[in-house]
Amino acid sequence: MKEVLLQYAWQYKLFYINNLQTTNGESIEIIDVGQLNSNAGPDFFNAKIKIGDTLWAGNVEVHIRASDWFLHHHDQNSNYQSVILHVINQNDGSVKRPDGEEIPQLILPYFSDLEEKYEQLLQKNTFVACSLVLDKVAPIALHSWLNALMIERLEQKATQMEQVLNFTQHHWEESFYILLARNFGLNLNGEPFEQLAKSLPNNLLAKHKNNLFQIEALLFGQSGLLDEIFETNDEYVQRLQNEALFLRKKYTLTPMNGQLWKMLRLRPINFPTVRIAQLAALIHQSSKLFSKIVENQDINYLISLFRCEPSLYWKTHYSFHQSSRSSNKAIGDRTIQLLIINTLVPYIFLYGKYKALPKLQENALELLEKLPSEQNHVIENWAILNIVAHSAFESQALLHLKKNYCDAKKCLQCRIGHIALTIN
């Protein structure tokens, strides 16, 4: 028996309630198990328990062994003075509050099959451990859980974005530019893109907003990718190198290491060279982008803000090294959707939280409902199990569920896992 499972059994009353007694033989009636405490202090607050003829109100601590009370030094911690019951699995001695008074203890008679069900979930190597009970989950229960997961995901992303906000000393436009740049790099080149944006402030780029070539020179120059080209007959690249060198000296810029960028196993359209060219085009055509987004969250308007195409050179190139057949390198619909999902939505949510604008947070959630579901192997596997995402709201929630609960084996914190553990 693991302590977390014993806590779970107490929290959801998954134990036999008849003839409960303390280790000293006093009768126990559980009126209220209390509220789970996820912070420091006793495991459960505000419990109500009748021991013998006395009704107690206070806190409950859960341990596998009674001696764990002393192992964790609770007998010396005043936060545990109000503990009214010590719930255990093994009794290896009595325990006392910090004031020296003995605490009643209960060896919890949890349901006999609970531990077996839990171990089976932990040991399964299927896509999700609870796949066999998914058809037992009521649609309304699943919908409610996905809603909660989506809020949790946004809170998690907003917390991560706060690090960038602190880096810019709460400059909202600058932070948005850095986060947007990061997501241009997708998963593989996200870090180099963030480093690029941090090394080249948005207000510096704004000085050259009306000159796309100079924006390209600044971005490619800072990326370090131009420094990897020693000899070339490409006129555009030569001009770009010269302009980048001039601007580097003018602004005293230190470029990145060009070898940080990854291209292996990337589709050509996702090469960092193409993504940087797209970012340059977006900066060229937009001004105070986040301010515009705050003013108007219409989905079609937001999509239109990101519709742009790199300079003519990139029609026939994916990289500086060789030309290719002419093709459109405009930011595609799928990329725009990912930028909205991963940058706009959580950032609007964070801004609404900081500015106490709940309507803005609601709008962020509504944007996800208006976008189609993402298509990837995780969402496809959920569909095989008849859990189909109909919008980005649902696909994001399912991605969060898989990564943060299923893969992490947090079945005890999952509402579907609860069904798997309690179903007959």
The Cα 149–Cα 402 span in angstroms is: 11
Task: Return the pLDDT at 141.
Answer: 94
Task: Return the pLDDT at 228.
Answer: 83
Task: Return the pLDDT at 117.
Answer: 93
- Residue with token string 């990912």: 338
Q: HSE, CB side, 13 Å, CA atoms: give it for residue 362.
A: 4
Tokens of 186: 């997708």
The secondary structure of 309-368, three-state, reads: CCCHHHHCECCCCCECCCCCCCCCHHHHHHHHHHHHHHHHHHHHHHCCCHHHHHHHHHHH
Q: Supply angle C-alpha 290, 296, 301, rounded to 5.
A: 95
The Cα 133–Cα 130 span in angstroms is: 6
CA dihedral 327, 333, 334, 339 (to 10 degrees): 110
User: At 330, phi and psi to the nearest 5?
Assistant: -60, 155
Task: Return the pLDDT at 293.
Answer: 96
The Cα 158–Cα 154 span in angstroms is: 6
Calculate the alpha carbon distances from 33 to 57, 60, 64, 85, 312 in Å.
10, 8, 17, 10, 68
Amino acid at the residue 145: W
Low-confidence ranges of the chain (pLDDT < 70): none
Domain ranges of the chain: 3-112, 168-370
Task: Return the pLDDT at 232.
Answer: 86
Phi-psi region of 409 (alpha: psi -120 to 50; beta: other; left: phi over 0): left
The Cα 39–Cα 331 span in angstroms is: 45
Tokens of 348: 């609007």
